[in-house]
Structure 1
Amino acid sequence: MIQTTIDAVGVRTPPTISPDTPADEAATYLRRAEVSALPVLADGAVVGIVAASDLVAMVAETAARPAVRAIMSTPVATISPTATVCDAAERMRAEGVKHLPVVTDDGYRGLLSVADLAPYLPRHSLDIEWQAEPLSVESDGGRRLPAGD
């Protein structure tokens, strides 16, 4: 498939927040159309991520307005800027997430979303793995014949 790297795609740099950021402040950021998630950083390292769904869950579960540390998703799956688009898509699928912070040894670089990957991936991907022998048909006598016979 596509061997384009995350560096070539480019990443957005939404605002970042700390674990002590009030949830209502995070909600203010997430109301912006261009902000789909907020990386949570502590000492320059990604320690969590907050999406709108985290805030919805908080409102549904409690009337309290805790700090972000109480609602952020953690641990966070991350990706290197040298990874490919396919690597990123597979990582998102495997982790069940829609956002991956892009990190290097030097720290946080940006945020990659499933929407960022969409232009680079085919609409449908079909991986076929044979579970049995190749296609065959049975004759009237119950004898299995290869499909080419």
Structure 2
Amino acid sequence: MDVDNTPVEKLMSTTLVTTTPGTDIAEAANTLLDDGIGSLIVLDGEGQLTGVLTSTDLVTVVSTDQPLHTGTVADYMTEEILTISSTATLHDAAVKMIREDVQHLPVSEDDNGIVGMLSATDLTAQLMYMGSSGTD
């Protein structure tokens, strides 16, 4: 798999775990732990992307003066969402993640909305595989 020419859709995760802005933050944290994932896609009542909640966002929950386990996803989610097209290359995704200092990129398709998630972990694992085996 060539990073310069391989589309994001070849590496992205297509099993999307979603939540809503009104979900209790403790419930969202449990979902991340139970599913072994680093981010949740936040959808509004019409199924539109409104944010992303990452494990990094949950650090804010612990580091604030608020009592633990209070608030909703909307209180802590990232609202300025960066996405990437499913047809963009893995190289483009890596550059975007580095420039914008993000670890997760929701993957979009024009007609279908959000169709996947690409994480820095996905990219790192692929690059390590390519470097260790000498194959795609």
TM-score range, shorter chain: 0.7 to 0.9
Using CA pairs below 8 Å that are at least 6 residues apart, which structure has the higher relative contact order?
2
CA positional deviation for 1:26: 0.5
CA positional deviation for 1:9: 2.0
CA positional deviation for 1:115: 1.2
Q: Which residue of 18, 21, 32 maps to 1:19?
A: 21
| Other-structure match for 2:43 | 41
What secondary structure does 2:18 align onto? coil
| Other-structure match for 2:7 | 5
More helix by share: 2
Distance in 2 separating the partners of 1:103 and 1:79: 6
Q: Are 2:118 and 1:115 equivalent residues in the alignment? A: no
Unpaired segments of 5 or more residues in structure 1? 124-149
CA positional deviation for 1:91: 0.9
Distance in 2 separating the partners of 1:34 and 1:110: 16
Give me the TM-score of the superposition, normalised by structure 1. Answer: 0.74
| Other-structure match for 2:34 | 32
Rg larger in 1 or in 2? 1
Sequence identity, in percent? 35
Distance in 1 separating the partners of 2:4 and 2:115: 22
What secondary structure does 1:103 align onto? strand
What secondary structure does 2:10 align onto? helix
Distance in 1 separating the partners of 2:80 and 2:21: 13
Distance in 1 separating the partners of 2:8 and 2:48: 19
Distance in 2 separating the partners of 1:9 and 1:56: 27
| Residues 11 and 118 in structure 2, CA contact (< 8 A), matched pair in contact too | no
Comparing 61-70 and 31-40, the one that deviates more: 31-40
**What CA RMSD, in Å, does the superposition of the two structures yield over aligned residues?**
1.9
CA positional deviation for 1:45: 2.2
Distance in 1 separating the partners of 2:50 and 2:38: 17
Equivalent residue letter for 2:114: Y
Equivalent residue letter for 2:4: I
Give me the TM-score of the superposition, normalised by structure 2. Answer: 0.81
